[in-house]
Amino acid sequence: PNLEHPAYPAAALLRLESLVPCRESQVSMLLSIFGERQQFSFPSIFIYGHTSSGKTYVMQNLLKTLQLPHVFVNCVEYFTSQLLLEEILVQLQSCSSKPEQASHVRCNTSNDFVRLFKQAVVSQELQDQTVYIVLDRAEQLREMEANILPAFLRLQELTDRNVTVILLSEIVWELFRPSTGCFEPLTLYFPDYSIGHLQKILSQNHPPEYSADFYAAYINILLGVFYNVCRDLKELQHLAVLNFSKYCEPVVSGEANERDTRKLWKNIEPHLKKAMQTVYLREISSSQWERLQDDDGDPGQLKGLSAHTHVELPYYSKFLLIAAYLASYNPVRTDKRFFLKHHGKIRKTNFMKKHEKTSNHLLGPKPFPLDRLLAILYSIVDNRVAPTANIFTQITSLVTLQLLSVVGHNDQLDVPRYKCTVSLDFIRAIAR
């Protein structure tokens, strides 16, 4: 038992410990900050760490097992400050023991929020406990009104109630700090899980039909294949479940027993490698993958998403796109040389200046005006092109297809400028 705290029952702590493996030090740190129920805690805590390092999971389990009054809100989901504040109030109303129907309140500003929050705390009889407000994906707060983040940081002071705000984010605090300055929260870092941690956590949830050792061996193989490319716990777990039935196949058919790791490894390894190229990249969906496993099909039949790169375009759209590409990647000066029949002599010596040696492809596409696009189009198409409305609508439809993009304002009718956004490979495929 690593977790010890006089304020909380030992059984709950033990359960908590089993729920959050490999995060004992962080949890005990948090517990010591929280103190006892009635004690005032630090006003705001900022927890950061990489994707799936267990921030949300640890906080949820911690607050739930210890039965601390808390509110858990995801800032992506409640995308405006009004929604966010109202959601906090609603959750607060329902978090006490009595299941009273939460009445809807309107709350537009942080001023209202402070007032309503005080009321809610009183009505729920939470004055003598610390209320925790957890804001997940707190980086979204920066995009709301400027006063929201500072207000949350010193909510304890503003409301004069026992409340602690916990911000969870994937980015460091330095990127949050507003220019006007604010209350500095206590920052806490959740480090990435090491490979040992991953092994331990993943093996914990073994299926009931098989022994823990058997599953652990499987996880070991899985990590051996995937650890180099993916350290996301969630993703690894997903992959583990997806491929486990394949791993068990020899055991089920009786070809090998559970201890025959070598044989099992030989069976699963190519399969996992294939999975890395397909499912992991979401080239084919996991349900398709499962079906493939079930009927032992060859994944080669199922073409992934990137296999369908070919785009069929109408004749003139192709030329328009090629013209746009040329206009984007060739400097204006060379137009005369490339597209005019009688372009005169090229002086080779000073044609290539030094800085132009870097390929234009490295610099990315440059914007070009509509006139230039059409001029190039007329010169690359063999027969005469009538400037009909059809041609112009095709330019717009190329823009909606995201093959071209408009530079500058959308409503600038005067001289619209475009950029070509497709790659050289795409153009090559079209030009064929």
Q: Which is nearer to other proteins, 115 or 234 (CB)?
A: 234
Q: Is 241 in the site for other proteins (CB under 8 A)?
A: yes
Residue in the block written with tokens 């410990």: 17
> Alpha-carbon distance 104 to 93, whole Å?
10
| Contact residue for other proteins among 58, 168, 219, 242 (CB under 8 A) | 242
Q: Is 244 in the site for other proteins (CB under 8 A)?
A: yes
> Alpha-carbon distance 14 to 3, whole Å?
7
> Alpha-carbon distance 153 to 332, whole Å?
54
Residue in the block written with tokens 């030329």: 319
The dihedral over CA atoms of 185, 186, 192, 193, expressed in degrees to the nearest 10, equals -130
| Contact residue for other proteins among 15, 64, 104, 259 (CB under 8 A) | 104
Q: Is 306 in the site for other proteins (CB under 8 A)?
A: yes
| Contact residue for other proteins among 402, 409, 410, 432 (CB under 8 A) | 402
Q: Is 401 in the site for other proteins (CB under 8 A)?
A: yes
175-214: contacts with other proteins (CB under 8 A): 205, 207-209
Q: Is 93 in the site for other proteins (CB under 8 A)?
A: no
Q: Which is nearer to other proteins, 2 or 400 (CB)?
A: 400
Residue 107, SS3 per DSSP: coil
Burial 39-52 (b: 16+ CB within 10 A, else e): eebebbbbbbbeeb
Measured CA to CA in angstroms, residue 366 lies from 326, 329, 330, 336, 361 at distances of: 10, 7, 9, 18, 10
Q: Is 105 in the site for other proteins (CB under 8 A)?
A: no
Q: Which is nearer to other proteins, 53 or 164 (CB)?
A: 53
How many residues of this chain bind other proteins (CB under 8 A)?
58
| Contact residue for other proteins among 38, 67, 388, 412 (CB under 8 A) | 388
Residue 153, SS3 per DSSP: helix
> Alpha-carbon distance 145 to 65, whole Å?
34
Least Å distance, CB 340 to other proteins, is: 14
Closest by CA to 317, choosing from 309, 329, 325, is: 325
Give me the residues that bind other proteins (CB under 8 A), please: 51, 74, 76-80, 83, 86-87, 104, 205, 207-209, 232, 234-235, 237-238, 240-242, 244-245, 282, 284-288, 303, 305-306, 308-317, 386-394, 397, 400-403
